[in-house]
Amino acid sequence: MSPVVIILVGSLGALAPEILRLYSLRNNPDQFRWSWFYIIASVAFAGMGGFVALLLPATTYWGAFYVGISTPVLINTALKKGLDRQQPHFRSVGSEIQQHSLIRSFLKGL
């Protein structure tokens, strides 16, 4: 496989969790805010997924896709654990729901 194909398939794999994230948030739009941060983070994850697929080296399409899909999941899990230790959990107060920060909004969908 050519390096360009490996990067593209890895990037596509990295975007797969973002598609699932948006689908899962369709019933809870108050937990998500569109922002430039979200778009930049998604593009960064796609780039990292493609880069890691190239570095490992992925020899099949499935391998490149799998590496791409694993990259943001591992990073998000590590970030969630770090943020959860630093900040208390958000709770509903009556009918009012507290707003999430940009990074928490990005991470909450997975």
The string of pLDDT tens digits covering residues 20-77 is 878 888 887 777 777 888 889 889 989 999 999 999 888 899 999 999 999 887 887 8
pLDDT in tens, 88-105: 555 555 444 455 566 666
C-alpha 87/C-alpha 93 separation (Å) is 17
3-24 vs 61-86: helix axis angle to the nearest 10? 50
pLDDT at 73: 79
Q: What is the pTM of this model?
A: 0.65
pLDDT at res. 106: 61
Which amino acid, one-letter code, is at 9?
V
Pair 50, 8: CB distance under 8 Å: yes
State the pLDDT at residue 96: 46
SS3 state of residue 100:
coil
78 versus 66: the higher-pLDDT residue is 66
User: Is the pLDDT higher at 100 or at 8?
Assistant: 8
Residue 49: what pLDDT? 93
pLDDT at 90: 53
Give domain limits for the chain.
Answer: 3-108
